[in-house]
């Protein structure tokens, strides 16, 4: 049953689902009005001409809706068909139930069809507080197709007769979603409370009108990382805090150490020192080593320090993870970063090498630039960007002295971290990098 006594229905709105051994079919209401009485129950057998409901038509005339009111409906067959048994023990397709929220349909979640919510429940769940029911018009095969792809038919524009949703409509919707042009589900998931990102469609431009063009396929890594970056960019309220650390003494120490230990094959890097320094600061500001719970009501503090680092590869960006940075020395961290970066460039990283990070560093120090705004690697809540160190004149109270300054760009999730906390974090990190003995404190 897609409606009950008292429901307001529109002309062409599906009111009941009938099912045979081979197919199920929704019967549309011939005109708009209010359902006065249901004449069939769930599980009843109906045939052509069976009275299904009494409708008080909008014009005020009571109207009886017999089965197969539409000549095209399969109920024109003489075979009896049971009304859709939602509570049946036999798993059966639940096309109508899925119309409420196909993203949680049996196909998508593994929930058996017979435990799916009733259509009305599903619709109410989708539109809480709304009394009028707007069930998208689509045939059972299109509903099954949409369910298979996890598509919510409420979000699909129907271009068929009387706004019926066609297979092409579902395909277009999926194409738009894959291309990242779809913003509504993102806004809903972000807890936007209906304040969806109603943006203009992506501009379609024939560039060849203006000059020669060439089309190149995005790399596999870019195709995979693009949607993640897009989600993180759209769903996380980012703020970036910029600061500089005086690494003059640290860089000298690093060079001296590398010279002294070259024969043992030890090569420390600035990135490895920064990772170690970050652990000390993360311990002091544990919010930065956390994740937001799915319902955004709690933060989950992590008592371990696994550090992701962005690695530039010919095919795109990957983020391998150095595990247990708090338990390792700088030389070992540097060596692991080197190994993981080499594997990344050869495309040999395993899934586990890229999982479990609690905080990420993106270092462009070896490339150049003065600052940038890194995108947080969800579900983490902060990422530190490093740019190229440069000698700068720094006032020491009496005179300007040349100091090697490392630019830092800390992007943080403003839902979890306040601006003042972020400024304290980078100030503390700068202090630790200026004097690594602070790590021992």
- Closest approach, Cβ 311 to ligand CAO, in A, equals 4
Whether 285 contacts 425, CB under 8 Å: yes
Per-residue tokens: 350: 């395993």
Range 30-59 burial, b when 16+ CB lie within 10 A, else e: bbebebbebbbebebebebebebbbbebee
C-alpha 124: how far from chain center: 24
Contact 183, 196 (CB under 8 A): yes
Residue with smallest beta-carbon separation from ligand CAO: 365
Least distance in Å: CB of 232 to ligand CAO?
A: 11
Q: Least distance in Å: CB of 250 to ligand CAO?
A: 11
Which parts of 247-295 are beta strand (E)?
290-292
Alpha-carbon gap, residue 8 to 30, rounded angstroms: 13
The verdict on whether 414 is a catalytic residue reads yes
Q: How far is the CB of 377 from ligand CAO (least distance, A)?
A: 9
Binding site for ligand CAO (CB under 6 A): 269-271, 309-312, 317, 337, 341, 362-366, 374-375, 386, 388-389, 406
Determine contact, residues 271/365, Cβ cutoff 8 Å: yes
CB of 388 to ligand CAO, least distance (A): 4
Distance CA 330, CA 325 (A): 9
Phi, psi of 46 (to 5 degrees): -130, 160
Q: How far is CA 48 from CA 18, 65, 66, 72, in A?
A: 11, 11, 8, 12
Residues annotated catalytic, as ranges: 414
């Amino acid at each position: 049953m897609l409606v009950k006594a008292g429901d307001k229905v529109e002309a062409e709105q599906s009111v009941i689902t009938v099912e045979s051994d081979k197919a199920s079919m929704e019967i549309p209401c011939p005109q708009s009005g209010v359902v006065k009485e249901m004449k069939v129950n769930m599980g009843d057998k109906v045939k052509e001409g069976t009275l299904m409901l009494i409708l008080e038509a909008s014009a005020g005339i009571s109207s009886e809706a017999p089965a197969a009111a539409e000549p095209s409906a399969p109920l024109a067959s003489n075979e009896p068909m049971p009304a859709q048994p939602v509570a049946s023990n036999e798993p059966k397709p639940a096309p109508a139930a899925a119309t409420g929220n196909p993203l949680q349909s049996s196909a998508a979640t593994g929930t058996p069809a017979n435990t799916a919510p009733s259509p009305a429940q599903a619709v109410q769940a989708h539109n809480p507080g709304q009394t009028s029911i707007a069930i998208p018009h689509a045939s059972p095969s299109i509903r099954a197709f949409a369910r298979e792809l996890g598509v919510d038919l409420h979000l699909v524009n129907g271009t068929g007769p009387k706004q019926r949703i066609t297979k092409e409509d579902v395909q277009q919707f999926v194409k738009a979603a894959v291309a990242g042009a779809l913003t509504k589900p993102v806004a809903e998931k972000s807890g936007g409370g209906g304040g969806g990102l109603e943006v203009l469609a992506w501009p379609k431009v024939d560039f060849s009108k203006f000059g020669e063009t060439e089309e190149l396929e995005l790399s596999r890594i870019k195709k995979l990382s693009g949607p993640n970056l897009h989600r993180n960019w759209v769903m996380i309220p980012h703020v970036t805090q910029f600061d500089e650390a005086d690494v003059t003494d640290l860089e000298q120490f690093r060079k001296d150490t590398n010279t002294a230990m070259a024969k043992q094959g030890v090569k420390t890097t600035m990135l490895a020192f920064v990772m170690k320094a970050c652990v000390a600061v993360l311990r002091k500001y544990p919010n930065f080593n956390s994740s937001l719970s799915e319902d955004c009501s709690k933060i989950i503090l992590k008592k371990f320090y696994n550090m992701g680092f962005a690695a530039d590869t010919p095919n795109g960006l990957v983020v391998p993870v150095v595990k247990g940075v708090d338990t390792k020395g700088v030389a070992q961290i540097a060596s692991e970063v080197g190994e993981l970066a080499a594997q990344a460039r050869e495309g040999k990283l395993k899934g586990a090498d890229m999982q479990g990070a609690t905080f990420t560093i993106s270092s462009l120090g070896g490339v150049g630039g003065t600052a940038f705004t890194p995108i947080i690697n969800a579900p983490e809540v902060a990422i530190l960007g490093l740019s190229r160190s440069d000698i700068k004149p720094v006032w020491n109270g009496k005179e300007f002295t040349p100091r090697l300054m490392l630019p830092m760009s800390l992007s943080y999730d403003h839902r979890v971290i306040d601006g003042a906390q972020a400024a304290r974090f980078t100030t503390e990190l700068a202090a630790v990098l200026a004097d690594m003995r602070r790590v021992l404190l």
